[in-house]
Amino acid sequence: MSLFSSEEHSKNINLNLPNADITYYPKFFSEKIADNYFETLLNETNWRQDDIKLFGKTYKQPRLTALYGEDGKNYTYSGITMNPLPFTSVLREIKEKVEKISEEKFNVVLLNLYRDGQDSNGWHSDDEKELGENPVIASVSFGAERKFYLKHKEDKSAKHKIVLENGSLLIMKEQTQRFWKHQIPKTKKNISPRVNLTFRKIISS
Ligand SMILES: O=C(O)CCC(=O)C(=O)O
Ligand SMILES: [Mn+2]
């Protein structure tokens, strides 16, 4: 690791889970910078709430989302197709910092807004075919901290829980999406909003 990155960021933690490669950077952004990004993204993102279909019934997605990225990089998940809006300067700035540490290039970012503890993201893997095999997913969190759960698809005893803090970065790569699911569960705690950004690389379309 270069002197630059080890000085600039606090210590990173490898979660050491089987069939996974997940690294957590607790204070990837300082609190002051993270608070600024949080306010900007909360107020300036073109948030939307899509419908999802579950067992033939239609529900509102339990959070707001937005997709930004390079032109033509459409993203389909849970039956929803999103066309990206062009990257804003703030998103480009964050993307460049994340690309430097992850040594990966991303062409879209999916944003999630969890308005309160009742907003959530159900069990899933980021394994859409347009991401190719073994995708690198770089997930940045701003605002209220939330618990992030992981469970192995085959080994039912393999589970993990981590709190994603303001200004943190979580990088999932290698076989993580093939073998693991993740979720952000609801909480009864009275909590403020959280903005999450997952940088992804769409390799088809
Ligand atoms: O909010 C998070 O930390 C996770 C988001 C996520 O898993 C996703 O958008 O695919
Ligand atoms: Mn995900």
79-127 pLDDT, tens digit each:
889 999 999 999 999 999 999 999 999 999 999 999 999 999 999 999 9
Residue 121 lies in a domain: yes
Q: Give Cβ neighbours of residue 16 (< 8 Å, ≥ 6 apart).
A: none
Query: What residue owns the CA closest to ligand 1's atom 3?
Result: 196
Query: Which residue, judged by its Cα, is nearest atom 1 of ligand 1?
Result: 196
CA 205 / ligand 1 centre spacing (Å): 22
Domain membership of residue 205 (yes or no) is no
Closest-lying ligand 1 atom to the alpha carbon of residue 65 = 9
Instruction: Quote the ligand 2 centre to 3 CA distance (angstroms).
Output: 31
In a domain, 43, yes or no: yes
Residue 3's pLDDT is: 44
State pTM to two decimals: 0.94
Q: Please tell me the predicted confidence (pLDDT) of residue 36.
A: 98
Residues with CB under 6 A from ligand 1: 110, 112, 121, 126, 139, 148, 164, 182, 184, 196, 198
At 10 the pLDDT is: 67
CATH number reported for the structural domain that contains residue 95 in this entry: 2.60.120.590
Q: Which residues of the chain have pLDDT under 50?
A: 1-7
Range of the domain at 55: 3-200
Measured in Å, residue 125 CA sits from the centre of ligand 2 at 6
Residue minimizing CA distance to atom 10 of ligand 1: 126
**Residue 90 placed within a domain:** yes
How far away, in angstroms, is 23 Cα from ligand 1 center?
Answer: 15
Q: What atom in ligand 1 is closest to the CA of residue 148?
A: 3
What integer pLDDT is reported at residue 54 of this predicted model? Answer: 81
User: What does the pLDDT read at residue 80?
Assistant: 87
State how many domains the chain has: 1
**Mutate which of 121, 128, 165, 168 for ligand 1 pocket (most atoms within 8 A of beta carbon):** 121
- Give, for ligand 1, the residue of 109, 114, 184 to mutate: max count of ligand atoms closer than 8 Å to Cβ: 184
